[in-house]
Amino acid sequence: MILGMEYLDAIIVVIYLAGITLIGALAGRSVKSREDYLVGGRRFNRWFMLFHAFGTGTHSDQAAGVVAESYKSGLSGIWAQWNWMISTPFYWLLAPLIRRLRCLTVADVYRLRYGRAVSAITVIVSSIGACMAMGVMLNGTSRTVQGLLHWKGPMVYYDWMGHIGITQPEPAVFYVAMGIITLLFVGYGIAGGIVGAIRTDLIQGIMIILLSFLALPFVLGRVGGMSGLREALEPEKLALVSSDFSIVHVIGLCVVSLFSIVSQAHIVSVTSAGKNELEGRIGMTYGNFLKRFCTVGWCLLGIAWFVTKPDLPNPDTAFGDAVGALLPVGFAGLMIATIMAAAMSTCDSMMVAVSGLISENIYGDLINPKATERQILILSRVVAVLVVVLALYYGVTQESIFGGLKSFWEVTGTIGVAFWLGVLWRRMNAYGAIASFVVASGTRFLLANATSMAEGPQLLAWLGAGILAGVVVSFLTPAPSKEHGEDYYVRLYTKIGDEERLEKPLDEAIPPEQRLIDVGGIFLPKPSRETLNGFLVAWAIVAALLIGAVLLFRPPGLGL
């Protein structure tokens, strides 16, 4: 055995990780410019974009978090990731908007609307958020591998004097897994940029879907199938809301997710690396719906493992503990390899995005505007290493996977208020954007540390305070300039390939008869048939997933 793995498992892990690393590293041959490094030259089709969105947004800490929360709370634990469910239809609307802004980084998105001050704040917030996300991923992945190998029993080792000893593998496995993951994704991420991430995401996405459900037949066989599972659980464990995830808590998590997504560092690559708008919106929307589907499998595994083994000391290891105990030799190694490579594929996307933020929006915009393409590219790769060091520190010190994820969502959500107000309301200005961020952040801190308010109301309170501050301060200060107002809206609603409209004034580019709402500064053009139909289809999928989950976990005796 090697670190608690059977030799066949270890061989599979080495071959799989080496193959993924090679694919990512070879992508470096096609990286010639900043646009190649950050958005892949905008040349990928919808299948690459779908699996890029799925792979970047799906990683083992999320699977481990859902399994852990479902192990503790039952079906309601699914909201540890389904909080993004209500946001997903809006991705159909969001993806083309980000693409039309023709940006390389998320800070560019805010700079076009508000200027350099808000752009700088976005760099800081998005970079901190990405470091937190990477840290949680590394922690969750390492905990999963730790749990997966724990069942193998004690590990024999020799100390520095040659004396034989026996220890449990948790500490060694945790740090070894974290170190291996980090070295590999830093290596090919620096070389291949977002191109390497997208190419590896295609393979990773397919494997994650398969392995999300691989352990279910084994665990359901142990508990007597779905009927046996339902019979073994209290009714509260089979409800979509519970004392741990109340309706207000769920609403708060869903609302925060919509504000968080628009300021996450990788949002530009997952919406804008495609050949056109449709490729990006299909990839962004349906790549994330794949994740919502896989979340059902993670939830079911957590609930079933609670019935099988209800006395785990640390629920965060439930995912690894379950698949390690259930899967036969060979499949366990494939699961370990896929879990580790999933973290790699997401971490490299975020690492590249953050390095772009700092090299483009801090160094290129503020420090050295005359920097050459080569200088920016070299700096991006150096910054990438420093970003990972911060992520490692956060990962090692993080105690709760789901707690770390919530902190990441909330931190990025504080600046997301400015994005949505800036899209919907023409009167919103840079003063209001800064005020919304400061008030939302301050209120969040005070409520979390100085009150006993429940978490759901807290989330809604600090978001509401940020929105109110943005509106009031914008009313009391000068209107935005033409550059950050009319010109922004022309760009936002000019389709890719229709660039001649960019030179027109707003009233010509979007005449009154093409506007759905233009009252009190609220500005919304009429949606195209593609936009409206796709939005409605996305909501139908949301309804189908929610109804399907309720029916799947319905308490015994209720029938269909």
pLDDT tens-place string over residues 334-375 = 777 777 777 776 777 777 777 777 887 788 777 888 887 778
Tokens 């105690």 found at? 399
pLDDT of residue 234: 87
Whether pLDDT at 152 is above 90: no
* Cα separation, 198 vs 189, whole angstroms: 11
Enter the tokens of residue 54. 């799925």
Q: Which pLDDT band, with edges at 50, 70 and 90, does 103 fall under?
A: confident
How many other C-beta atoms can be found within 10 angstroms of the C-beta atom of residue 329? 12
Q: Which pLDDT band, with edges at 50, 70 and 90, does 169 fall under?
A: very low
Q: Of all residues in the chain, what percent carry a pLDDT higher than 70?
A: 83
Whether pLDDT at 22 is above 70: yes
Q: Which pLDDT band, with edges at 50, 70 and 90, does 155 fall under?
A: very low
Q: Give 475-488 pLDDT, tens digit per residue.
A: 999 999 999 999 99
Enter the tokens of residue 484. 């950050």
- Amino acid, single-letter form, for residue 24: G
* Cα separation, 270 vs 535, whole angstroms: 18
Of 12-16, 125-129, 130-134, the range with the highest mean pLDDT is 125-129
For residue 44, what are the β-bridge partners?
274
pLDDT of residue 190: 61
pLDDT of residue 163: 47
Q: Which residues contact 54 (CB under 8 A, 6 or more apart)?
A: 201, 205, 208, 287, 288, 290, 291
Secondary structure (3-state) at 416: helix
The residue ranking higher by pLDDT, 56 or 91, is: 91
pLDDT of residue 150: 52
For residue 157, what are the β-bridge partners?
165
**16, 23, 501 from 184: Cα distances, Å:** 12, 12, 45
* Cα separation, 177 vs 172, whole angstroms: 8
Whether pLDDT at 166 is above 70: no
The residue ranking higher by pLDDT, 80 or 333, is: 80
Q: Which residues contact 204 (CB under 8 A, 6 or more apart)?
A: 20, 51, 55, 338, 341, 342, 345
For residue 250, what are the β-bridge partners?
none
Mean pLDDT taken over the chain: 82
Cβ atoms of 62 and 79 closer than 8 Å: no
Q: Which of 117-121, 274-278, 464-468 has the lowest mean pLDDT?
A: 274-278
* Cα separation, 96 vs 110, whole angstroms: 16
* Cα separation, 475 vs 484, whole angstroms: 16
Whether pLDDT at 288 is above 70: yes
Residue 279: closest CA among 98, 118, 421? 98
Q: Give 449-485 pLDDT, tens digit per residue.
A: 888 888 889 999 999 999 999 999 999 999 999 999 9
Q: Which pLDDT band, with edges at 50, 70 and 90, does 444 fall under?
A: very high
- Amino acid, single-letter form, for residue 414: T
The helix-helix angle for 60-73 and 277-308 (nearest 10°) equals 40
The residue ranking higher by pLDDT, 194 or 509, is: 509
Residue 549: closest CA among 320, 308, 310, 303? 303
- Per DSSP, the residues of 438-494 read HHHHHHHHHHHHH----HHHHHHHHHHHHHHHHHHHHHHSPPPPTTTTHHHHHHHTS
In the chain, the domains with their CATH numbers are: 7-254+265-366+375-395 (1.20.1730.10)
The secondary element (H helix, E strand) that includes residue 515 is strand 515-519
pLDDT of residue 170: 45
pLDDT of residue 270: 82
The residue ranking higher by pLDDT, 6 or 229, is: 229
Q: Which residues contact 508 (CB under 8 A, 6 or more apart)?
A: none
* Cα separation, 269 vs 261, whole angstroms: 13
Q: Give 222-250 pLDDT, tens digit per residue.
A: 999 998 998 898 888 889 988 888 999 99
The residue ranking higher by pLDDT, 188 or 441, is: 441
Residue 197: closest CA among 37, 8, 421? 37
* Cα separation, 489 vs 505, whole angstroms: 10
Q: Which residues contact 8 (CB under 8 A, 6 or more apart)?
A: 329, 330, 333
Q: Which pLDDT band, with edges at 50, 70 and 90, does 187 fall under?
A: low
Phi, psi of 378 (to 5 degrees): -65, -45
Residue 254: closest CA among 267, 240, 265, 266? 240
pTM of the shown model = 0.81
How many other C-beta atoms can be found within 10 angstroms of the C-beta atom of residue 165? 10
The residue ranking higher by pLDDT, 493 or 172, is: 493
Whether pLDDT at 158 is above 60: no
Helical residues (DSSP H) of 115-245, grouped into ranges: 116-150, 170-214, 216-223, 225-232
The residue ranking higher by pLDDT, 256 or 64, is: 256
